[in-house]
Copies of this chain bind each other. A is one copy, B any other.
Amino acid sequence: MQTQPAIRSDASHRNPISARHPRHMHDDVVDAGALDQSMQMMGAVLTYPRNSEIFGDNEAADYLYKVVSGSVRTYKILSDGRRQIGGFYLPGDIFGLEFADEHTLSAEAITDAKVLVVKRSAITALAGRDASVARQLFTLTGRELHRVQDRILLLIKSAQERVASFLLEMSERVPGAANGIELPMSRQDIADYLGLTIETVSRTLTSLEDSAAIEVPTSRRIVLRNRPALSRMNG
């Protein structure tokens, strides 16, 4: 519901960003800096409280977003009331790259989040001048495309495979000690991401725990006890 806040420069947040954002597995080594630096120069950091809307379905897609801290989900509500989550975005991840005039998904903060917001026109103008920025945009988009294609492969698999894949994906993306994951999202979020019900997610987790593949000390914390077993479930 909230309209896009005016973008103002917010110097207090600018500098520390690039030093902090983690690389995840898919990152290429090549000149990842050019676009990042430009985004920080041109953008502003906004703070979104837990569960607040960052942008809405059908809004003009005038901005590009990068998570500074916290986490974000994109989603779409189907006509039958169900919700499909498009993706989870963690610190360092860029979202809102739709390359259409309007967003096809909505975005919300899962936890309190700081998000770097940059006018899309500024980015594309820059890409026109700087070929390395353009190349990076293509790389990012290609990565997003690949991520979505992998989700399609996920959605035709069994509940166990989906949950196992989800856990492995998250363990590569969230920071934290080697095998212990701190999940920012609820069971409902996970269910809507994997195309399952909350009950099936819950049952599958306990079954994985029974088979000693994982440990679930608290509902949001998951320890991977047997990665090979989880990988084997991946199909």
Q: Which residues of A contact B (CB under 8 A)?
A: 76, 78-80, 82, 84, 86, 98-100, 104-105, 127-128, 131, 134, 137-139, 141-146, 148-149, 151-153, 155-156, 195, 235
Query: Which residue in B79, B128, B151 is a CB contact (below 8 Å) of A235?
Result: B79
CB-based contact B195/A98 at 8 Å: no
> From DSSP, what is the main secondary structure of chain A's interface residues?
helix
Specify which chain B residues have a CB less than 8 angstroms from the CB of A105 in the assembled complex.
149
CB-based contact A149/B86 at 8 Å: yes
CB-based contact B156/A82 at 8 Å: yes
CB-based contact A155/B155 at 8 Å: yes
Specify which chain B residues have a CB less than 8 angstroms from the CB of A99 in the assembled complex.
138-139, 141-143, 145
CB-based contact A152/B148 at 8 Å: yes
Interface pairs A-B: 6 shortest CB-CB = A99-B142, A156-B195, A155-B155, A148-B148, A99-B138, A128-B131
CB-based contact B155/A195 at 8 Å: yes
Copies in the complex: 2
Specify which chain B residues have a CB less than 8 angstroms from the CB of A78 in the assembled complex.
153, 235
CB-based contact A152/B153 at 8 Å: no
Residue from A99, A144, A235 whose CB has the most chain B CB atoms within 10 Å: A99
Q: How far is the CA of A190 from the CA of B31 in the complex (A)?
A: 42
CB-based contact A98/B145 at 8 Å: yes
Q: How far is the CA of A107 from the CA of B195 in the complex (A)?
A: 27
Q: Could you list 11 A-B pairs, sorted by A, with CB under 8 Å?
A: A78-B153, A79-B235, A98-B142, A100-B143, A104-B146, A141-B142, A144-B145, A148-B148, A151-B152, A152-B155, A155-B155
Q: How far is the CA of A104 from the CA of B152 in the complex (A)?
A: 13
Specify which chain B residues have a CB less than 8 angstroms from the CB of A82 in the assembled complex.
156
What's the least CB distance linking A152 to chain B, in Å? 6
Residue from A104, A143, A148 whose CB has the most chain B CB atoms within 10 Å: A148
Specify which chain B residues have a CB less than 8 angstroms from the CB of A195 in the assembled complex.
155-156
CB-based contact B152/A84 at 8 Å: yes
